[in-house]
Structure 1
């Protein structure tokens, strides 16, 4: 029974997101499986979430997670950039509705806190919503 970390759980949730977008999982089933993935402590618990689903399944990193040994020529190589960027896009995509809903509230609070001197703060509402939609759309492709 291999222990899993946050990275493996995130990979599983991204695969579940793909099944939701493909229409294989309803909203409630998707939410339930994502919650189970976030609590999973072993690879077998994550694999059980995909037994009744076709590909894609999570592409776990091969081997046990170990710290790379320093090479005589310098420090260890940096991880690939897409692995660092993907979780942020996934988080924005998952919370796009909440971000879009809270943006006008934040703009109104900033406007009130400024004593009404900065009405241009409301221009941030469509800009933020457009940025969230862009990031969410790019993550879903």
Structure 2
């Protein structure tokens, strides 16, 4: 029976409990967690707890395939819900125009400084803040 990320996380949480209880040394805990993070079957996860008392991971019961469905070697990927294109329009727009925004920010600051008659020199502090914000937003939307 294949396992997913949720089952691997349950196993690592149980291993953490054994580490806190002093049943596993740091190195052995790290090795078992590494094995759990790469596990692809229920048997691999259960093998990590054969020499340990409770708690064991509370893995969900295996589900039988639906009638009429063929079981193959790899499970079908869950369907992603259709999302509207307007999920994050502002962030995506900023990411697309990051270079232009970064280029124009100092010019806009200089213009505002000149229009204010030089009364607000702190306006130039906003230049690196705006550029850093644009960089963060662009990085989040590169994925």
Q: TM range, normalised to the smaller chain?
A: 0.3 to 0.5
The structure with more radius of gyration: 2
More helix by percentage: 1
TM-score normalised by structure 2 residue count: 0.44
